[in-house]
């Protein structure tokens, strides 16, 4: 069963407006296998659970990825315990650190001197030695990033200028072990060549600290940040160019392992938000289509102030005893059912035709979509969650 078939079946058997997240697990499985097969042997592929923690998504990814990256105790509880886990968050609660240590995670990110002190203390209480990755806020910015997470003041990581001091402090401790460095600095980068250069820079800095302090490290974690081109999906991040650049770094690795924590790039294309048009009207000479759903289900376009990629699935049947509202050959704004002007998913985009009863499919909704949205506002019903498999 594909999305179009789901829509047709739903229209035949249910009178309420269509509103659903549809996850294509077969497509996800194929995509992630392709990503992994292109990486050199010194790379490990982790999934950043924050992108989409849906249990069926996690279950699909578990046999393929090398591990999960989690950013809370809640995410730690959701991942498959048999998989390797990296734990990182800027404001760790004590109980989260305790749970991460007790779970035997591969490493915990150190975001500050206070972080390091707490991990040492809690590890000592347990008689454990905890591997840590020092998260670095680089002095140089990464201009290709959609969100600036490095090179500028942020709440993330240790200022690069203070990395030598935190290394020295860690080396004086008995219950933490510096396993490597973490450099997550990008968000939604679309430039593959720039991403290769970023990885190379991270590797160079990690090796310089390794040599200076004679560290027995194994991991250079460059985070995620590989993006989805929501504005022009046909001009996507060039994964082949990126992996080709990684393969050329093999001689520079010197036994180190490179970790990628992909989130959005892994799951976005496998999810769609599917919703029915409730009304179409003109207001001050502009067309509006009002849908069942909106930013309380899919907050990303409002948060990024963008028009989300969409397509129209026309429904020809119209059984109501009154005229059907619609518009043709003009720009339309697609808005949701909330009582706020910010509830907009598409702003002034041209469509050939759109009518009440038609269904709009918002593609690339498999990441940073449902779980970042304000579900409780106005207490509308949640969408359905539909999972498509290859065999369907």
Catalytic residues: 339
Per DSSP, the three-state class of 158 is strand
User: Tokens 């924590």 belong to which residue?
Assistant: 261
Q: What does the alpha-carbon distance between residue 294 and residue 86 come to, in Å, rounded to a whole number?
A: 33
| Neighbouring-strand partners of residue 276 | 359
Determine contact, residues 138/153, Cβ cutoff 8 Å.
Answer: no
Q: What does the alpha-carbon distance between residue 189 and residue 38 come to, in Å, rounded to a whole number?
A: 19
Pairing of strands 326-335, 344-355: antiparallel
Q: What does the alpha-carbon distance between residue 380 and residue 19 come to, in Å, rounded to a whole number?
A: 11
Which contiguous run of DSSP H or E holds residue 311?
strand 310-313
Determine contact, residues 209/215, Cβ cutoff 8 Å.
Answer: yes
Q: Helix 192-213 to helix 239-247 angle, to the nearest 10 degrees?
A: 30
The pair phi, psi for residue 293, each rounded to 5°, is: 120, -155
Per DSSP, the three-state class of 115 is helix
Q: What does the alpha-carbon distance between residue 141 and residue 147 come to, in Å, rounded to a whole number?
A: 11
Which contiguous run of DSSP H or E holds residue 110?
strand 107-110
| Neighbouring-strand partners of residue 221 | 182, 259
CB burial of 243-281 (b: ≥16 within 10 Å; e: otherwise) equals bebbeebeeebeebbbbbbbbbbbbbbbbbbbbbbbebe
Determine contact, residues 138/145, Cβ cutoff 8 Å.
Answer: no
Q: Which of 95, 67, 167, 177 is nearest to 128 (CA)?
A: 177
Q: What does the alpha-carbon distance between residue 58 and residue 64 come to, in Å, rounded to a whole number?
A: 10
Determine contact, residues 111/158, Cβ cutoff 8 Å.
Answer: yes
Q: What does the alpha-carbon distance between residue 170 and residue 66 come to, in Å, rounded to a whole number?
A: 27
């Amino acid at each position: 069963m594909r999305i179009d078939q789901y829509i047709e079946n739903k229209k035949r058997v249910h009178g309420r407006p269509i509103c659903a997240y549809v996850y294509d697990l077969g497509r996800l499985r194929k995509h992630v296998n392709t990503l992994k097969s292109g990486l050199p042997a010194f790379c490990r592929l982790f999934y950043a659970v924050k992108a989409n923690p849906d249990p069926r998504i996690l279950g699909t990814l578990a046999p393929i990825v090398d591990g999960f990256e989690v950013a809370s105790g809640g995410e730690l509880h959701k991942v498959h315990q048999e998989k390797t886990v990296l734990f990182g968050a800027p404001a760790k609660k004590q109980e989260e650190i305790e749970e991460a240590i007790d779970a035997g995670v591969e490493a915990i990110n150190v975001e500050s001197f206070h972080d390091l002190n707490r991990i040492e203390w809690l590890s000592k209480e347990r008689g454990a030695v905890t591997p840590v990755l020092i998260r670095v806020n680089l002095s140089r910015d990464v201009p290709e990033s959609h969100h600036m997470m490095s090179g500028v003041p942020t709440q993330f990581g240790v200022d690069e200028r203070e990395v030598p001091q935190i290394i020295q402090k860690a080396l004086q401790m008995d219950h933490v072990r510096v396993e490597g460095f973490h450099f997550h600095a990008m968000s939604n980068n679309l430039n593959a060549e720039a991403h290769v250069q970023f990885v190379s820079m991270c590797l160079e800095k990690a090796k310089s600290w390794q040599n200076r302090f004679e560290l027995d490290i194994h991991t250079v974690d460059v985070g995620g940040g590989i993006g989805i081109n929501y504005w022009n999906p046909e001009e996507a991040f060039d994964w082949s160019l990126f992996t080709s650049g990684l393969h050329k770094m093999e001689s520079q690795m010197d036994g180190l392992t490179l970790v990628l924590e992909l989130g959005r790039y892994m799951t976005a294309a496998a999810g769609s938000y599917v919703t029915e048009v409730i009304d179409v009207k003109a207001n001050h000479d502009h067309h509006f289509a009002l849908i069942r759903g909106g930013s309380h289900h899919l907050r990303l376009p409002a948060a990024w102030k963008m028009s989300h990629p969409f397509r129209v699935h026309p429904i020809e049947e119209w059984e109501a005893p009154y005229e059907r509202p619609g518009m043709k050959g003009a720009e339309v704004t697609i808005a949701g059912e909330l009582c706020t002007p910010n509830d907009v998913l598409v702003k002034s985009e041209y469509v050939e035709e759109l009518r009440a009863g038609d269904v709009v499919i918002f593609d690339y909704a498999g990441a940073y979509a449902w779980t970042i949205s304000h579900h409780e506002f106005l207490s509308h019903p949640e969408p359905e969650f539909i999972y498509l498999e290859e065999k369907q």
